[in-house]
Amino acid sequence: RDEDPLLVKDSMPLLLKLNELLVEKDPENHELLAMTGKMFIIYSNLFIHTPAEMLDYREWKKQAEMYSRSKKMYMRGSRYLKESIETKYKKHIDLSDSKTLDIKFSKDDVDTLFWLGGGIMSAVSIDITDPFISSLRQSGIDIMLKAYELDPDYGKGALHEYFIQYYASIPAGMGGSAEKSEYHFK
């Protein structure tokens, strides 16, 4: 709602660090953990990843640095969101093994799942060649599918938008599907 986007951009790092200090003081607050994770992912997307994509090809070094930083911010946010779920459900989650996500989630968890899956998949999209990041791909997809199962209309179609792009952008051998993409479009 702020009329000055640069003011918002300039204030975000302070807010992120402030939230991290609050988490240190209250590490069992799953809502605070989730909000902190979500803020890191939003910051990364709005102020690092998207601007990096807009750079001219001649600025490839700066772009590579921004992508690297963005990936780290996505993963930092994802760690907070993962901790939020672990704290709420008192269960350890290994994101490289989607079988550890066998939690009986409720509709109240959709927002956290959406941002966790989105953060992971955003990091994957930046650097599929990173062995650790690419090992999280299946969990990222599974998390988004869990969110969709709980509330397919979350965020006024945000999950549908995600799956339109996801199914349309990957090869069929990796799960891509024009039919599924069209289904979510409709």
Average pLDDT, the chain: 94
Please report the pLDDT score of residue 95 as a whole number. Answer: 87
Buried b (16+ CB within 10 A) or exposed e, 25-44: eeeebbebbbbbbbbbbbbb
The pLDDT tens digits for 72-114 are: 999 999 999 999 999 999 999 988 887 888 899 999 999 999 9
pTM over 0.85: yes
d(CA 62, CA 68): 10
What distances in angstroms separate CA 100 from CA 30, 67, 74, one per listed residue? 18, 29, 21
What distances in angstroms separate CA 2 from CA 6, 7, 112, one per listed residue? 10, 8, 25
The pLDDT tens digits for 23-36 are: 999 999 999 999 99
